[in-house]
Amino acid sequence: MSQDLIRREKLYVGLLTGIQFFNILDFVILLPLGPLFMRTLQITPGQFSMLASSYSLSAGIMGLIYSLFADSFDRKKFLLILLSGFIITTLACALAKSFHFLLIARILAGIFGGIITPVVYAIVTDLIPFKRRGRAMGTIMATFSITSIFGIPTGLAIANAWGWRYTFFLISAGAFFASLLIIKLLPSIPVTKTINTATEKLIKTFKLGLQKHFQLPFLLMMTFTASGFLLFPFLSPYAVKNIGISETEIKYIYFIGGIFTVFSSKLTGILTDRYGSMKIFFPALFISLPFIYLYTHIENIKLSSLLIISTGFMVMINLRFIPVMTLLTQSPSINERGAFMAILLSLRSFASALATAFAGYLITENQMGKLSNFDLIGNISICLSLIGLLLFLRLNNNLKKERG
């Protein structure tokens, strides 16, 4: 095996990991920046939820559209087009001086950023042989955790020092630099066009989505996604307005939570492979419920106490999703897997957008400047988690019957 080939593969993975880092950071940084947005733009919790959900909604729609022409263009050229749009729309976020301008910029950012991830995975599949692809995919997937540990705290520190606009300037600059490296170092990746038209692909995807045995997996995904995204957008605003920490202390929540999530995720994946989804899902789910209740009901506690609760919340919400995803991937056959995952991820985006919008509708700001009804949102999230438990049990039983 050529060492030059392995070095090139590592270079390609490194380039794509860099792209993913800035892409994911652009998506997630809005949530911890919530208190700054609400203060500087003087927007309500409902308006902030619209900002948080707009990206996911446009990304979900574009994900379905992308599935129709995914194999029709040179992947390198298509990635560069997406990165150009991503850089421009992220710059627009940095330059926004009103809620409506920022909302439009976030919608457009979701259109480009939402497709970058599946294109990156497709390029990894094209360039990395199967026997080394697992490690490459693992590196790309670890970007989310890396972003939580390094990207979010850095972005928040920049926002606290110079303003939130400079965080988006940084993301744009980083993506621009990564684009230059892609132009110079990533090879052209032409694709073999299939005889299927977009209409034929649309009909195939639509038929698959309507199949009865896929409705339960889709509903399970949407239930647990909604359970989490009822809470995620308002973790930072609630911590500042109700719990009483300062805006400059928010970064510690994500830094410490990210570190513990990285190590616990790897261990949970190993345990899920060894003992099965069911045995890991039950304890992860039931341990997560007290943390949901505590975070959404506490007020006026010390930062050290909050970090214990917030870290437990982040870790357990993430851990319970690992056996869920493992179970969901058993639902489609090999020939159905691509369309199934495209629909599944789009529904995940839709569910996160709807849950965020619903939370923003219920949460209000009282005369003292505190958020009201976040405890109600926490109770709804717990109820959805328990409904998800029933769906998980039913899907697990159905898959057992199918396997005979």
**With the C-alpha atoms ordered 318, 320, 321, 325, is the resulting torsion angle positive or negative?**
positive
pLDDT of residue 190: 74
CB 23 within 8 A of CB 117: yes
Domain covering 1-191 in this structure, CATH number: 1.20.1250.20
DSSP 3-state assignment of 211?
coil
* Contact (Cβ atoms closer than 8 angstroms) between residue 253 and residue 235: yes
What are the structure tokens assigned to 395, written together? 């899907």
Please list, in sequence order, all residues whose beta carbon lies within 8 angstroms of the beta carbon of residue 113, skipping any fewer than 6 positions away.
23, 26, 27, 55, 59, 82, 86, 89
pTM of the full structure = 0.82
Please give the chain's pLDDT, 404 residues, in tens: 577 777 888 888 889 989 999 999 998 898 888 888 888 888 888 898 899 889 888 988 887 787 676 666 778 888 999 999 999 999 999 999 899 999 999 999 999 988 888 888 778 877 877 677 666 766 776 787 788 888 889 999 999 899 999 999 999 999 999 999 999 988 887 765 554 565 666 666 666 666 777 889 999 999 999 999 999 999 999 999 999 999 889 989 989 988 888 788 778 878 887 888 888 899 999 999 999 999 999 988 999 999 999 999 999 998 888 888 888 877 777 566 666 777 787 888 889 999 999 999 999 988 888 999 999 999 999 999 999 999 999 998 988 887 76
Cα dist from 16 to 137, 141, 147, whole Å: 10, 11, 14
- Residue-level pLDDT at 197: 60
Span 195-404 CATH architecture: Up-down Bundle (1.20)
What SS3 class is residue 365?
strand
Q: Phi and psi (nearest 5°) for 91?
A: -60, -40
Residue 262 to residue 107: CA distance in whole angstroms: 29
Q: From its phi and psi, is residue 188 left (phi > 0), alpha (psi between -120 and 50) or beta?
A: beta
Question: For the purposes of burial, counting CB atoms within 10 Å of the CB of 133, is it exposed (0-12), middle (13-18) or buried (19 or more)?
Answer: middle
218, 220, 215: which is closest to 386 by C-alpha? Answer: 220
Going from N- to C-terminal start, the domains of the chain cover 1-191, 195-404
Residues 246, 1: Cα–Cα separation, whole Å: 54
**Helices 198-210, 45-69: inter-axial angle, 10-degree rounding:** 120
For the four alpha carbons of 156, 45, 303 and 230, in that order, the dihedral sign comes to negative
Fold agreement (1-191, 195-404): yes
